[in-house]
Amino acid sequence: MEATVVDPKLYTPLQVRFGSFLGGPIASVYFLRENFRVLGKVSEARTTLIWGSAFVICLWASVPFLPTHFPSYVVPLAYSYAAGSIAEKWQLQKQAIVDSGTYQVQSSWRVFGLALLFVLAFLIVGVVVYICLVALGLRTGPSGIGLE
């Protein structure tokens, strides 16, 4: 049974790009999945969640192996561009959303707020993981001191 969306609002490809860049890779998965859900494409929403989760795990696993002087903005630019391209190709452009008569453009303030929430959640999880690694002796704490 398919759920009916009461207030069908979609994120534009530009909003997906911006929200992904600011909010991180999990935010990009969220924005794309949400658009597919609103469009009634349940299978694509599920696929986005599965492949997006796999991408995030692979990304997190590979980042520690990047060269020391690798520019920190390249990875976020890459996945943000990719997410926006997916939104352009398989979802609706801004003008198509406006012209549809069915959908509305999601608020850019909502995109900004959600992106900030995703960044905050990522930082909290990152700090907890870091503390656990230090406690297990797999990482050293600040100034090279472990938690003994």
| Torsion, Cα of 24, 25, 30, 31 (10° steps) | 70
> Total domain count for the chain?
1
In 3-state terms, what secondary structure has residue 139?
Answer: coil
CB 25, CB 122: distance < 8 Å: no
In a domain, 16, yes or no: yes
Give the pLDDT confidence score for residue 85 in this predicted structure: 97
CB 92, CB 39: distance < 8 Å: yes
In a domain, 68, yes or no: yes
In a domain, 3, yes or no: no
Average pLDDT of the chain to the nearest whole number: 90
- The rounded radius of gyration (Å) of the Cα atoms in the chain is 18
The confidence band for 4, taking pLDDT boundaries of 50, 70 and 90, is low
Q: Which domain holds residue 107?
A: 9-144
pTM of the model: 0.85
In a domain, 2, yes or no: no
Give the pLDDT confidence score for residue 5 in this predicted structure: 65
Q: What is the mean pLDDT of residues 19-35?
A: 97
- Could you read off the pLDDT of 60-94 as tens digits, one per residue? 888 878 898 999 899 999 999 999 999 999 999 99
In a domain, 37, yes or no: yes
The percentage of the chain sitting over the pLDDT mark of 70, rounded to a whole number, equals: 91
In a domain, 1, yes or no: no
In a domain, 40, yes or no: yes
In a domain, 43, yes or no: yes
The confidence band for 147, taking pLDDT boundaries of 50, 70 and 90, is very low
Q: How far apart are CA 1 and CA 6, in angstroms?
A: 16
Q: What is the mean pLDDT of residues 13-31?
A: 97
